[in-house]
Chains A and B, each alone.
Chain A
């Protein structure tokens, strides 16, 4: 059931790669809607792209590449269905909601059923780690190997995860077909969480050459942009895209020489300022709202403050602290409180930040980040004993070798008792 030929931009270069990037999701959603066979559609489209990769370089591109690919894939599906019928096998079809209408016979313009496919992949009945993977695989076309790299798991694990998710969709009757208005809003919240999960996976520190997987986080941004194009009026989608674009714009400044570079220390000339302009434009149009849409909006506004500051020193920490306060009131999240402590330390003074940290030890007892922030703030107010203890605790709790090295360096850089030097090191 798993596709054996995973098309990925590495073996199909130039024009085929470009067509792949723009057409994979649209063609797959259409094939899935026409055939109601998730497994066959994916295999058939992979086959069609493989054939294109073989033939187009020599024969030249067809006048209508998408049409060629669609027709080739569809013929492949028909062939497989015939073989199944002869063998007396009949695989179950995707369920459909009552009132679902199959797409018309393709005319000049191939229909866009990508929203249906996104909603299918991101259904809450699927395990959350599978939804992100499935959405990237089916809607963006990211290869299984790349998705495995993104989530720092072995490729076989990811392949199995995808296979199980696709099986569950069919066996549990997760349907094709757009949900009704209110339900769509709730489902879009879930989709945004899924896309954000895929994005942050790219920035979860790994090791060595895979310290960060910013290129794959970029696939999540593309998915977010695609979704925004499909539902431009959805506030949570716009807020999510603003957030992703702004955070992603910093990708080339986030690591150097195999180490992570915190936000304060980043070389801002390596930020993508054209993307920042786009992100700020998206953020500017956001209206205050409720629930998850409002959470995303506040996060986007925070990202916007960082993005628009020409230097770290010019950051409007007061505005950021205000947004974090609103976010904490909305979510009650301890992680938000932690980030708020950092902002308050900058906007007011480190003591105020330390005060906010006080309640977090019971809520986040195993968080190396709480200890690390406490260490930095304690260092700034001159509580060097607390700084030392906290750095040591952070090092003990931290699972990532590169982050641990960074913390060790911070600990070693602490002045011996009696001297008075400040240093910095915060989130990236």
Chain B
């Protein structure tokens, strides 16, 4: 099954740019450990993953009454902190949850990607 794993919010972690260099390194190490944990797991593959640009670099498109409006910033305040995503192939939800424990303690949103085939 495919899963979309969204690093949705900082949780209790300070924002990235408020962290000291060594704290950032520690978090980077956890991202590395996640990649290794996925590689080591049967049936798991990281299909795609990216860190996202800061919320301040976002642009939102909204269409209402047929008119599209373009504005600065993410679509909602809650979306300010979205930091990145993974698209994973994994056999089941519990496998994904276990692997996510290796990631930094962000708020994480896990969605199954339905097989449209």
Contact = CB atoms under 8 A, between A and B. Distances in A.
Given A95-B1, A98-B43, A172 B95 contact: no
Main secondary structure of the interface of B (DSSP, over half): loop
A96 B92 contact: yes
Contacts of A25: none
A97 B114 contact: no
Interface string A90-132: 0010011110000000000000000000000001010000000
A95 B93 contact: yes
* B: contact size bracket: 10 to 19
B6 to A, nearest CB: 14
A174 B114 contact: no
Interface residues of A, number: 14
Interface in A72-104: 92, 95-98
Contacts of B90: 173
Contact of A174 (B43, B93, B115): B93
A174 to B, nearest CB: 5
A92 B92 CA distance: 13
Interface in B61-117: 90-96, 110, 112, 114-115
Interface in A181-230: none
A72 B1 CA distance: 32
B94 A179 contact: yes
A374 B3 CA distance: 52
Interface of A: 92, 95-98, 123, 125, 171-175, 177, 179
Given A95-B91, A173-B91, A174-B93, 5 more contacts: A125-B93, A173-B92, A173-B93, A174-B94, A177-B94
9 contacts: A98-B41, A171-B114, A174-B92, A175-B91, A175-B93, A175-B94, A175-B95, A177-B92, A179-B94
Interface of B: 1, 3, 41-43, 90-96, 110, 112, 114-115
